[in-house]
A and B are shown apart, each in its own frame.
Chain A
Amino acid sequence: MDLNEFMNAVFNFEDYSQLLPLVTNSLIAGAVLGLVGGLIGTFVMMRDLAFAVHGIAELSFAGAAFALLIGANVVFGSLLGSVVAAVILGVMGMRARDRNSIIGVIMPFGLGLGILFLSLYEGRSANKFGLLTGQIVSVDTVQLNVMLGCSLFVIVALLAIWRPLTFASADPDLAEARGVPVGKLAIGFMFLLGLAVALSIQIVGALLVLALVITPSAAALRVTASPRLVVGLSVIFALVSVVGGILLALGGRIPISPYVTTISFLIYVVCRLIGARRDKLGRTRRSASPDIAAVKVTAA
């Protein structure tokens, strides 16, 4: 059953409670992906990888389109494209400037490939569209299990490297001196990011991945600098965006991605406003740098 048939056939506000069970799979997938997006987004912001996420998404799109063309599992195709792109970026582009030019080269190549595969594909056009703009409503149980498995892996792996990754992201020089394997962590993180991007694409599509991986964390960063709060808020924001998006889409004829992107955008705007207000108050409230006398030292 494709999205449009589904909507035409069963959309009706009065039937909302009957519709809900039909999207249970999607809701579960959405909630887990919200969790993944919120967790990984903090590091994407710290490591300045927003553009990389976009680049990875386009290659992921190419992978998914190829899978669609040859009749393979789209989720696997998307994962493969994503991880290949992410690891290439991790290995080749350690410095931000190199990385951006590599992405600039890879991204149109990926999109071009994807378009090639899609134009060769003769199946339903809703499938094509879904890769770019989201398709979660049609998540079946097999897909759901793949997504849950991958998400769980990403979450556990992220927790395992959490502290050294934070250290390496915020303060690479000192982290390196303290024995943190900064380079290996960078590549490992890119691998996880590749997985997360491929998973998010299943919900919001390749073009809108940033709404799930960047926007919630960017919003959280506007209102707090406490690392725990940033992570907690960005997970909540991502969850609200995805789950809220799915629930709202149920009551309309539009795909879910506009709902997801709009909710996450609105959250961002609100956080920016709060942050701006806080900055203004905070600057005056925070005590200025302490007087020299406050230093507990005496020159020997």
Chain B
Amino acid sequence: MTTPAVSLQGASLSFGNRVLWHDLDLEINPGEFFAVLGPNGSGKTSFLRVLLGLQPLTHGSARINGSSVARGSRDIGYIPQQKSFVSGTPLRARDLVGLGLDGHRWGVRLNGRRHRRRVDELLDLVGASSYAEAPVGLLSGGEQQRLRAAQALATDPKVLLCDEPLLSLDLHHQQAVSALINTQCHEQNSAVVFVTHEINPIIDYVDRVLYLAGGQFRVGAPEDVMTTEVLSDMYNSHVEVIHNEGRIIVVGLPDATTHHHGEED
């Protein structure tokens, strides 16, 4: 039996008396595309922070590849919730990707040529070669997001954590970025944990979803979780889920439809 890429046992997380989830048992396998859905503030980012070793669980345990979560694990690639770079940032696209490769090391970089070659490969992988030398602050959200993907793929991670990577991207970039992540999932057999507001852009890739709402959670295939009954039960009010031509439309979410506007803080 293979070691699960991610495993949570009896995991609970609360802040004060606000419970985000309680008693969550979950295993995510290598090569699985796993989506995390839920309204704002339901704990999606916190879920990723637990896996990154940045947020201790209130109860239970979290493991990555069989060992307890730890900050700075090279097994994890991470695309943080989008925050665009300001125009004065003294970094070009290639420098940003380079930091994803060795930014955690002390001192100044000495192995220039090898580093450069690896950065070129990563830029090529995400289709960002044409703006490798451009200042990151001048790139569009979609272009910056590809660089984020390149950073996340830099260590050939076994687990790829993506926090709303499609937010504020146009349709083309949404497709490109999710296809890229799906490729990593299937060709490199990485587990992907994909936090998103909107399941439709990735509906063709998703194996299972974790739906967080109102301190509860449900795990399962999208067609089992994304139903009128389940969501109505979780939100404690009537929610209509329509499946149409392979898309899932959720209607009547109570106040949770509020969209993100840029950063949360």
Given contacts A177-B52, A177-B54, A295-B126, contact A225 B103 (CB under 8 A): no
A-B contact count, CB below 8 Å?
141
Asked if A175 and B107 make an inter-chain contact with CB atoms under 8 angstroms apart, the answer reads: no
Given contacts A177-B54, A179-B72, A298-B179, contact A46 B106 (CB under 8 A): no
Asked if B107 and A177 make an inter-chain contact with CB atoms under 8 angstroms apart, the answer reads: no
Asked if B136 and A294 make an inter-chain contact with CB atoms under 8 angstroms apart, the answer reads: no
The stretch of A79-87, A157-165, A262-270 that contacts the partner chain = A157-165
Complex partner residue of B103 from A180, A226, A286, A287, CB under 8 angstroms: A180
Quote the shortest CB–CB distance from B110 to chain A (angstroms).
10
State A163–B105 Cα separation when bound (angstroms): 7
**In the complex, which residues of chain B have a beta carbon less than 8 angstroms from the beta carbon of A174?**
78, 80, 99-100, 103, 148, 151
State A151–B109 Cα separation when bound (angstroms): 22
Given contacts A163-B108, A225-B90, A292-B175, contact A287 B96 (CB under 8 A): no
Complex partner residue of A171 from B73, B99, B127, CB under 8 angstroms: B99
Quote the shortest CB–CB distance from A233 to chain B (angstroms).
10
Given contacts A170-B96, A177-B54, contact A290 B127 (CB under 8 A): yes
Instruction: Indicate whether A140 reaches chain B with its CB closer than 8 angstroms.
Output: no
Asked if A160 and B107 make an inter-chain contact with CB atoms under 8 angstroms apart, the answer reads: yes
Asked if B54 and A300 make an inter-chain contact with CB atoms under 8 angstroms apart, the answer reads: no
Q: Is the interface of A mostly helix, strand, loop or mixed?
A: helix
Whose C-beta in chain A lies nearest to the C-beta of B177? Answer: A295
State A227–B102 Cα separation when bound (angstroms): 15
State A170–B92 Cα separation when bound (angstroms): 11
Given contacts A167-B99, A177-B76, A297-B176, contact A225 B137 (CB under 8 A): yes
Instruction: Indicate whether B242 reaches chain A with its CB closer than 8 angstroms.
Output: no
State A196–B56 Cα separation when bound (angstroms): 38
Instruction: Indicate whether A98 reaches chain B with its CB closer than 8 angstroms.
Output: no
Asked if B137 and A170 make an inter-chain contact with CB atoms under 8 angstroms apart, the answer reads: no
State A224–B92 Cα separation when bound (angstroms): 9
The stretch of B10-18, B59-67, B180-188 that contacts the partner chain = B180-188
Which chain B residues numbered 137 to 194 have a C-beta less than 8 Å away from chain A?
137-140, 142-143, 148, 151, 172-173, 175-176, 179-180, 182-183, 185-186
Most buried by B among A166, A178, A180: A178
Given contacts A174-B151, A290-B130, contact A298 B107 (CB under 8 A): no
**In the complex, which residues of chain B have a beta carbon less than 8 angstroms from the beta carbon of A297?**
127, 176, 179-180, 182-183
The stretch of B35-43, B81-89, B251-259 that contacts the partner chain = B81-89
Most buried by B among A159, A221, A283: A221
State A224–B143 Cα separation when bound (angstroms): 19
Asked if A161 and B106 make an inter-chain contact with CB atoms under 8 angstroms apart, the answer reads: yes
**In the complex, which residues of chain B have a beta carbon less than 8 angstroms from the beta carbon of A171?**
80, 96, 99, 103
**In the complex, which residues of chain A have a beta carbon less than 8 angstroms from the beta carbon of B186?**
300
Whose C-beta in chain B lies nearest to the C-beta of A293? Answer: B127
Asked if A162 and B127 make an inter-chain contact with CB atoms under 8 angstroms apart, the answer reads: no
Asked if B90 and A167 make an inter-chain contact with CB atoms under 8 angstroms apart, the answer reads: no
State A168–B174 Cα separation when bound (angstroms): 27
Quote the shortest CB–CB distance from A238 to chain B (angstroms).
15
Quote the shortest CB–CB distance from B68 to chain A (angstroms).
15
Asked if A42 and B176 make an inter-chain contact with CB atoms under 8 angstroms apart, the answer reads: no
Instruction: Indicate whether B229 reaches chain A with its CB closer than 8 angstroms.
Output: no
**In the complex, which residues of chain A have a beta carbon less than 8 angstroms from the beta carbon of B130?**
287, 290, 294
Quote the shortest CB–CB distance from A156 to chain B (angstroms).
11
Asked if A221 and B88 make an inter-chain contact with CB atoms under 8 angstroms apart, the answer reads: yes
**In the complex, which residues of chain B have a beta carbon less than 8 angstroms from the beta carbon of A173?**
80-81, 83
**In the complex, which residues of chain B have a beta carbon less than 8 angstroms from the beta carbon of A296?**
124-125, 127
**In the complex, which residues of chain A have a beta carbon less than 8 angstroms from the beta carbon of B124?**
296
Asked if A164 and B78 make an inter-chain contact with CB atoms under 8 angstroms apart, the answer reads: no
Asked if B106 and A177 make an inter-chain contact with CB atoms under 8 angstroms apart, the answer reads: no
Asked if A167 and B104 make an inter-chain contact with CB atoms under 8 angstroms apart, the answer reads: yes
Asked if B127 and A170 make an inter-chain contact with CB atoms under 8 angstroms apart, the answer reads: no
User: Chain B interface (Cβ within 8 Å of chain A)?
Assistant: 52, 54, 71-73, 76, 78, 80-81, 83, 85, 88-92, 95-96, 99-100, 102-109, 124-128, 130-131, 134-140, 142-143, 148, 151, 172-173, 175-176, 179-180, 182-183, 185-186, 204-205
18 additional A-B residue pairs with CB within 8 Å, beyond A175-B104, A179-B73: A45-B90, A46-B90, A163-B102, A171-B103, A174-B78, A174-B103, A174-B151, A178-B103, A180-B72, A227-B90, A227-B91, A283-B138, A290-B130, A290-B131, A297-B182, A299-B182, A300-B183, A300-B185
29 contacts between A and B (CB under 8 A): A42-B90, A45-B88, A46-B90, A160-B106, A163-B99, A163-B102, A163-B103, A164-B104, A166-B99, A170-B91, A171-B99, A174-B78, A178-B78, A178-B103, A178-B104, A179-B73, A179-B104, A225-B92, A225-B136, A226-B90, A286-B138, A287-B131, A295-B126, A295-B127, A295-B176, A295-B179, A297-B176, A297-B182, A299-B179
User: Chain A interface (Cβ within 8 Å of chain B)?
Assistant: 42, 45-46, 159-164, 166-167, 170-171, 173-180, 220-221, 224-227, 230, 283, 286-287, 289-290, 292, 294-300
In order of increasing CB-CB distance, the 3 nearest A-B pairs are A179-B72, A225-B135, A167-B103
